[in-house]
Structure 1
Amino acid sequence: MNAVEIEEAVSNLAEQPFDAQEFPYAFLEAFGNKATTIKRLRTGASNKSDLDGVLQTSNIHIKVCEPGTVTDTLVALKDSPATKKARAKFVLATDGQWLEAEDLNSGETVACEYVDFHDHFGFFLPLAGISTVQQIRESAFDIKATGRLNKLYIELLRTNPEWGTAERRHDMNHFMARLIFCFFAEDTEIFTGDDLFTSTIEMMSDRDSANTHEVISELFRAMNTKHEDRDAARISSWARKLDIPYVNGGLFADSVEVPKFTKMARSYLLHIGKLDWRKVNPDIFGSMIQAVADEEERGALGMHYTSVSNILKVLSPLFLDDLREQLEEAGDNDRKLLNLRKRMAKIRVFDPACGSGNFLVIAYKEMRKIEAEINERRGEKDRRSDIPLTNFRGIELRDFPAEIARLALIIAEYQCDVLYRGQLEALKDVLPLNAMNWITCGNALRLDWLSICPPTGTGVKHHADDLFHSPINQAEIDFENEGGETYICGNPPYLGYNKRSKEQKEDLDFVFEGRAKNWGNLDYVAGWFVKSADYFRNTKGASALVATNSICQGGQVPVLWPILSELGAKISFAYTSFKWSNLASHNAGITVVVIGLSREDATKPTLFETAKSGEIASRNVSNINGYLVAASDIFVHKRAEPLSNLDIMSFGNHPYYGSALIFSQEEARIQIENAPGSARFVRPLYGSTEVIKGQPRACLWVEDTEVEVANQIEWISERFSKVEADRLKKKTDTTAQKLVASPHRFRDRLEATKYFIAVPQTTSENRAYLPCAILDKRCIPTFKCYAIYDGSVSNIAIVTSRMHLVWIATVCGRMRTDFSYSNTLGWNTFPIPKLTEKNKEDLTRCAEDILLAREAHFPATIADLYDPEKMPDDLRAAHDRNDEVLERIYIGRRFKNDTERLEKLFELYTKMTNNEEAQTKQKAVTQ
């Protein structure tokens, strides 16, 4: 169940007559417990309560008590030995009139009238496996309103299917935006009279809903007509008598056609109107209801929520911290305060992937908070804001979020006016709405950002998209604004290269044309970074965007970051990898970074690093490079040979349409039993999974000189024929065609004479060390594995070191969140000081100790031994000694942390590549 479904179930429970016997089970059912789970609790099979209540292990202890004993009962539940033994997260007591509950982990409590407990459903969301944040727990309204709107939306489309077509989808979305404004306006006194909009529909429309659409349409017409013009416009007499204000602003302009209502849809609308829309939170409401108009996203309804704290990771270091510092420095100095207020009035905030406007709304509210403090200090508390909504601009591809973004800003402005100027002053200025438009609906990578948000002081004017149907001359916005700054922010779509649509690939073609030839593997979000950097060649300001951490790892760095550098962009601040999560149990969150770019040399670039505990540490550094490391701007490129004095690491063997040469060990056993002579041609086969799990597959490995003998064995001959046929099918593949004549072999023929060190291509990020294994010469590595053939055992000490892990994690990139190893990009580039014979001996001994520690736990596999929760102490100690020996080779002591390790590695890499380049130039001169 998602949060919206839970809210509805809890609300239904609160509205029903209280049934003391059934309440605990109904409560648990509302949070998604299955019927079988409830049945086991009812029969006592899983009920662990020692207080004649209902105790669900690892979840909650509930007791219905006598009237007036709720508080005492809650204390008894907390003190219950059964509560502790069952590791309950919550305790809850109620007598049907009053309800109290406590989160035993945080100590937070709820105490309310029983009929109101549904307003606190967010407090209990962990019972459904949904991790929550404080803000959403305190904002039950937004989820409640989202659910109700979704029901109305679906019911209207069911009975008006033509409104769901591409041609009419905008009309439907615009209608929903109109409704939301009316619900908000009637509860905040923008419309005078109690529930003016909702009560009028209830009174004037028939119960069978036959004329509901006509009533709403007439109300919309009235809102779009000035009072003095309503007679001429032939507004119905009943509508003329109502004190409905003239709204304008394009929101009710043009067509006022309304979809037809069923009795059910009318009921939904009236129910929505009776919610308290004063509680709407534009910070999150807009993003939550995005899913209402998107069928593919409805499964996560109410989950589309980005925490304010995450948004502020973008906005605060981008420009808000600077404004706050200037406010602090101004103190009570009237002139300095006035200058700051003037500066803020000229600041533009531009989100070119704005969705429903989260970033713009938060930026606006934070700036209004600073402005209010200025006005307070200057004794101008009731002063009208100098910060215009037209300075908060956005681009959004989808129709509905774009509508909601503008509406969210209108609501935010009104709420700020009420908060800082009072209700009366706010009401004076809210209507009619400003007809200027701030949100453009279109493709941000195709649009000219300078026309959407022009450079300051140029007098450029832009006719914005007519989002609310306002006449084009009304939508004209004058951007003459000498001295102003523009700040680009947002959370653009990520999309790796293998997930992009044809149109999205063409978008990047458009952005990167003439800039780079090898951009094909870049994430989609890279387009926003390039356009941001390009934008600031023409105007003053900076940008900060959320992105997948992959654009700062592996092969994307040497492609994207030189382009940004050529455009003059420098990293002014960055947050290293952290989880950017929604409020969904199924969404643990994607790993992202936040990157701030500026053309100006930052005197103190700030690097924010998030620990696993969630704590954030910041430090000022001299430079932040494209890998988000405090080091010089350097790009690690693939190399054919090792930079350091290391053994060669090769790619494994690729079957190349020779899958018939590979089979399971069980199948190999059966075939060998039937044809004993075939055993000599069967070898163990290892890829990443096989190395880690210690479970090899098998393969046919036949020397060219033995093909004739092998072909005499029927099952082998059949497999050769299958390979030949598979390769023949690939007529346009020249390599496959060359191999047709050799169906007995893999494309590659790499094997050891004694042993080889196998390094898996992919491995979990949860392991503290990169896995590798030493394997017998009969074993064959696949292309999912890298191999050092007959090399020094000391290589194991290097591969499995913490130093190598942090290097790989940074320069090789990831496969999802797993480490993705590369010999050319990870091993061949790995910088290590020149090793003495003594160093090699010490590292060899460390490698042997690691292997011996593993052997002591035979038959445990690498997967078993390197499980972070189960790693044996002796193996952990062997790795720790190995790290100490290697790190002393670098700096004579252990490194303090991974940050220090990376900075040293980049420093050494820079020195070694510079020396190599100098030697190459010198050699060219001498020749």
Structure 2
Amino acid sequence: MTTASEKSVRLAAFTEWASEHITGDEKGEAQIFLDRLFQAFGWKGLKEAGAKCEVRVKNTNGGTSFADLVWKPVVLIEMKKRGTSLSKHYSQAFRYWMRLVPNRPRYAILCNFDEFQVYDFETQLDTPVDTVKLSELSAKYGPLNFMFPGDIAPIFGNHQESVTRGAADKLAACFNSLTKRGIERPLAQRFVLQMLMALFSEHIGLLDKYLVTSILDDCKKPQDTHDLLGGLFEAMNARNGVRGGRFKGVPYFNGGLFAEPARIELVTRELNLLKEAAKFNWSKVRPEIFGTIFEHSLGKEERHATGAHFTNAVDIMKVIGPTIVAPWSALIESAKTLGELKRLLARIESFTVLDPACGSGNFLYLAYRELKRLEARIYERMAMEYKSVDPRQRPFGFVSARNFFGMDINPFAVEIAKVTMMLAHKLSIDELHINELALPLDNLDTNFRASDALINADGSRAAWFKADVIIGNPPFLGSKLLKPKHGADYVKLLRRAYPEVPGMADFCVYWFRRAHDELKPCTPIDPLAGRAGLVGTQNIRNNASRIGGMDHIVATGTIVDAVDNQPWSGEANVHVSIANWVKSKDKKLVPDYCRLWFKVDPAPGAKKRPRGTGAAAKQYELDMREVPYINSALSDKTDVSAALPLECNTMPQRCFNGQMLGHKAFLLSESQRSAIVSKDKRSSKIIHPYLNGVSALTNTVLNRYVLDFESMDQLQAATYQGAFNWVKTHVLPDRMKKAQKGKDKDGNLRPHHKAFLAKWWQLSFGRPEMLSVVKPLPRYLACAYVTKRPIFMFVSSGVRPSNLIQVFGFDDDYSFGVLQSNIHWLWFITKCGKLTERFRYSAESVFDTFPWPQSPASGDVKAVAEAARQLRAVREVALKNMKGGLRALYRTMELPGKNPLRDAQANLDAAVLCAFGFSPKRDILQQLLELNGDIADQINLGHPVTAPGIPAGYPNAAALVTKDCLGS
């Protein structure tokens, strides 16, 4: 292992060499400089380390650029000539970084031969996490630790996330202490927010440096904090200033945040927490993430914000970039006259932004920052290109926090959002060096509203602020969780207020629908308005959620930029979709191409990415393709949302969800089953092997059993004495208890509790309709209900499936082949329900609409069946020596190289394609959609069609039914 002194010696030698031989010519010296840099960090050279120079990177405009050095998965390095201001080029590095997938580098470096600016875009978007001068490299190489061989974590001096977390923890702990000892919550909130502003202010020049720190040091007893801190807050609210004394010279902040100066006698622990908070450099605290981290710790004793996930700025920019920055930038850069620039300046002053689920204001903060940069760019162009313009003169007003509006159901989050936006103005002045007054702060009491954004208490629709654009990430909540989370009464009012949104739509869909309706149309007269960008659950592009939201949006609007699927960086553990759209169909108002972003899996065998710093977390990579359109399913592929349920697929029903037990005592272990049967052998008839989703994917032994009386009445069930006594002892008491606890306000049993109690010995949902189909068969088909790829298997009809199993009433190899084909898989992933990366097999949207081959030739049916048997034979052989079952086996298909399973699947796919009569050169989804429509038309005309399963009239159908199955 190389010692620290040896590292310093090598790096010092490199610095000396560079000083002697490098003049700073970007084109002529970059590669030799970088090669020597790698040598200094312990490599033989950059090529030996695996790095490449002049790497082609696609431009956002369709062209090609060249990155100076790419070392996957470690770092991207962009060189600029000596003397260049590197901060102006971070956006170029960020664009390159976004496109370097798969296996994107973790870090980026901008270098002008004299200093290295280090970026970690996953945690800090446009500010370096550290800057290292070449002359200091031998002593300060910690920020570049990732350049050494081995996974050595870097040590950053400007890692603002860690500073923010520490500061948030101290302030939140103080708040928790106040409320715990009985200080009224509104007073505690006012105190903490006023303290927050004061701490920021002494570090960003709104208050004298060390003023707050010295006040805290002078507080020796509780009365001091009441008088001194309270006095400071009062001075910050004095419109005409304080004429004398300790607070003379404290400027007026505003009458909103400080309208009621908070005076509290702090105990020693609380004072110490504030003193510790004051030690942080609050100029490094990031307002856009502070609120979320701060909220995470409120009211949670001893729970720190260390593990809290905030919404990453990179993710927020996936909304703000397309919805605000891109259209504004296009107009600013294309303006050809001073008059045009002046008109844009006048427009930006009145431009308004709404976040109807604003939380602590992180989306609005970044939107403000970007609008101020755009405003500065207008002034920059005016001053550079027109000598008549004095850059010091501001002929118009300016973008302020009053341009932004927010709503949220959490009152304290709204108050935090106000403070966040108040700070935004001063921080923009400092960043852009603009001539604006930082004080007084904008009073935002009329810009933010703490209320339900959807409905009022009386059930009427809540009013929204009028705005040019709408942004945000509304709550992630599936339709089935609405009642448990908000109550039946709320859901009833919600659905009555929004009858156009299907009842099975996810909660966020109401925001998408409402946002589109609230927008004024985008027009040639005002092309910057009528735009929106929202984050939603993956389900916004599927089924009822798509019908309620995106279908409505694309009817009168155009999606211009979308992310089809990515993990969310915020608190919710979900995969999300992001849609940015314009309320117009006018081709002149939308780009010539749309941008569709999609998640990229790591390259097989890719080198592990270096460890990051902080808690940024759910690592993934997105790539983008430019497409002519994006449909309501957030895809550029054939939109199959118009596919119709087919009567031949539903009558008779062949696809079912498995049994939902309703009580854990219905599920037995091997020993419990044996104990019951040993006392009553007859009970063995109603105790069955049980298959759950894990068993289906991993081929584990069926060692659990379900006790199922099916639809027997109580007297019939009682004849199975052992089993009946078991449920009487272990199920009945719980169901009685729950029924009593679940009584409504009038003392009546709720309907579902009443139904379960009436048949307490039966499973909650025993699926008698499913059993009527599968029990007569020797075996049935099954796959996991939640899966990324349906892996089908035959199961003995004596085995009962759980609700995590999707059941298909077929026992033949031909049906197995059709369902296991890639054609069916493509239909599944396009039509299924999604929340995270896990896809859900929905009978209604997938199976009921999936068209089967129509009148296939007998030879084609036989070929599919034979290919299906061969596929299962390959699986069976491979599984004998493979741990992890079918799931592990199918994952091998993602790896390069020859694979017998992949070959068998290809043979099956070819046979199924022939059975369908499809052309491999045409879009499969389009052919399936056309076939779906043809079958629906034939049914409506009363003509015969080929239903799922073995085609009617196939000779010797029995030969297609073999015997292999799980549980036989």
TM-score for both structures, normalised by structure 2: 0.68
The residue that corresponds to 2:909 in the other structure is: 883
Aligned residues: 778
The residue that corresponds to 2:781 in the other structure is: 758
The residue that corresponds to 1:615 in the other structure is: 622
Q: SS of 2:364's equivalent?
A: helix
Q: CA deviation at 1:327?
A: 1.9
Q: SS of 1:825's equivalent?
A: coil
Find the partner of 1:486 among 468, 471, 484.
Answer: 468
Q: SS of 1:513's equivalent?
A: helix
Question: CA 1:397/1:785 → structure 2, altered by over 3 Å: closer, same or farther?
Answer: closer
Matched, 1:279 2:284: yes
Find the partner of 2:479 among 497, 507, 510.
Answer: 497
Question: CA 1:287/1:874 → structure 2, altered by over 3 Å: closer, same or farther?
Answer: same
CA contact (8 A) 1:758 1:781 kept: no
Question: CA 1:293/1:890 → structure 2, altered by over 3 Å: closer, same or farther?
Answer: same
Matched, 1:196 2:211: yes
The letter for the 1-side match of 2:212 is F
Which ranges of structure 2 fall in alignment gaps of 5 or more residues? 14-37, 50-72, 75-103, 110-117, 119-129, 384-389, 523-528, 602-620, 740-748, 944-968
**2 CA distance for matches of 1:351 and 1:515?**
20
Q: CA deviation at 1:265?
A: 3.5
Q: SS of 1:596's equivalent?
A: strand
Q: CA deviation at 1:349?
A: 0.8
Find the partner of 1:217 among 230, 248, 261.
Answer: 230
1:824-863 Cα deviation digits (max 9, x unpaired):
4321211345252143233222211211101223545324
**2 CA distance for matches of 1:653 and 1:314?**
40
Q: CA deviation at 1:410?
A: 2.5
**2 CA distance for matches of 1:271 and 1:700?**
60
CA contact (8 A) 2:293 2:309 kept: yes
Find the partner of 2:874 among 843, 853, 862.
Answer: 853
The letter for the 2-side match of 1:253 is A
TM-score for both structures, normalised by structure 1: 0.71
**2 CA distance for matches of 1:723 and 1:533?**
52
The residue that corresponds to 2:632 in the other structure is: 625
The letter for the 2-side match of 1:527 is Y
**1 CA distance for matches of 2:144 and 2:577?**
29
Q: CA deviation at 1:907?
A: 5.1
1:147-176 Cα deviation digits (max 9, x unpaired):
234324424643564565xxx323322222
Map 1:146-545 → 2, pairs under 5 A: 146-155=165-174, 157-158=176-177, 161=180, 168-191=184-207, 193-202=208-217, 205-208=218-221, 210-227=223-240, 230=242, 237-239=244-246, 242-254=248-260, 256-295=261-300, 298-301=303-306, 303-330=308-335, 332-379=336-383, 380-384=390-394, 386-422=398-434, 425-426=435-436, 428-431=437-440, 433-434=442-443, 437-446=446-455, 452-454=464-466, 486-500=468-482, 501=484, 503=486, 506-513=489-496, 515-516=498-499, 519-536=502-519, 541-545=530-534
CA contact (8 A) 2:325 2:374 kept: no
The letter for the 2-side match of 1:144 is V
CA contact (8 A) 1:578 1:591 kept: yes
CA contact (8 A) 1:656 1:736 kept: no
CA contact (8 A) 2:354 2:406 kept: yes
**1 CA distance for matches of 2:448 and 2:711?**
68
Higher relative contact order (CA 8 A, sep 6+): 2
The letter for the 2-side match of 1:762 is Y
The residue that corresponds to 1:42 in the other structure is: none
CA contact (8 A) 1:353 1:491 kept: yes
The letter for the 1-side match of 2:257 is L
Q: CA deviation at 1:408?
A: 2.1
1:854-898 Cα deviation digits (max 9, x unpaired):
1223545324423458989212221133234435666855579xx
CA contact (8 A) 2:735 2:757 kept: yes
The letter for the 2-side match of 1:312 is M
Which ranges of structure 1 fall in alignment gaps of 5 or more residues? 1-49, 52-62, 91-102, 232-236, 455-484, 921-927
1:298-328 Cα deviation digits (max 9, x unpaired):
5444734322221121122224211111122
Matched, 1:592 2:608: no
Q: SS of 2:851's equivalent?
A: coil
The residue that corresponds to 1:546 in the other structure is: 535
Greater shift, 406-415 or 104-113, is seen at: 104-113
**2 CA distance for matches of 1:815 and 1:519?**
18
**2 CA distance for matches of 1:295 and 1:207?**
28
**2 CA distance for matches of 1:886 and 1:250?**
69
CA contact (8 A) 1:884 1:894 kept: no
Matched, 1:811 2:821: no
The residue that corresponds to 1:471 in the other structure is: none
State, as a whole percentage, how many aligned pairs show the same letter. 19
Q: SS of 1:495's equivalent?
A: coil
The letter for the 2-side match of 1:177 is L
**1 CA distance for matches of 2:710 and 2:179?**
71
RMSD: 5.1
Greater shift, 213-222 or 604-613, is seen at: 604-613
CA contact (8 A) 2:406 2:449 kept: yes
**1 CA distance for matches of 2:719 and 2:447?**
77
The letter for the 1-side match of 2:209 is D
Q: CA deviation at 1:499?
A: 3.5
CA contact (8 A) 1:660 1:722 kept: no
CA contact (8 A) 1:727 1:740 kept: no
**1 CA distance for matches of 2:581 and 2:343?**
26
The residue that corresponds to 2:70 in the other structure is: none
Q: SS of 1:883's equivalent?
A: helix
Q: SS of 2:577's equivalent?
A: strand
The residue that corresponds to 2:565 in the other structure is: 577
1:698-726 Cα deviation digits (max 9, x unpaired):
46789999x99999886467569779979
Question: CA 1:498/1:346 → structure 2, altered by over 3 Å: closer, same or farther?
Answer: same
Greater shift, 594-603 or 719-728, is seen at: 719-728
Question: CA 1:720/1:391 → structure 2, altered by over 3 Å: closer, same or farther?
Answer: closer
**2 CA distance for matches of 1:708 and 1:247?**
78
Question: CA 1:824/1:65 → structure 2, altered by over 3 Å: closer, same or farther?
Answer: same
Find the partner of 2:817 among 770, 783, 797.
Answer: 797
Q: SS of 2:206's equivalent?
A: coil
Q: SS of 2:345's equivalent?
A: helix
**2 CA distance for matches of 1:905 and 1:659?**
42
The letter for the 2-side match of 1:370 is L
The residue that corresponds to 1:823 in the other structure is: 843
Q: SS of 1:523's equivalent?
A: coil
Q: SS of 1:805's equivalent?
A: helix
**2 CA distance for matches of 1:274 and 1:709?**
75
**1 CA distance for matches of 2:167 and 2:491?**
39
The residue that corresponds to 1:30 in the other structure is: none
The letter for the 2-side match of 1:536 is L
1:435-487 Cα deviation digits (max 9, x unpaired):
66422222222369995523xxxxxxxxxxxxxxxxxxxxxxxxxxxxxx610
Question: CA 1:555/1:723 → structure 2, altered by over 3 Å: closer, same or farther?
Answer: farther
Q: CA deviation at 1:390?
A: 1.4
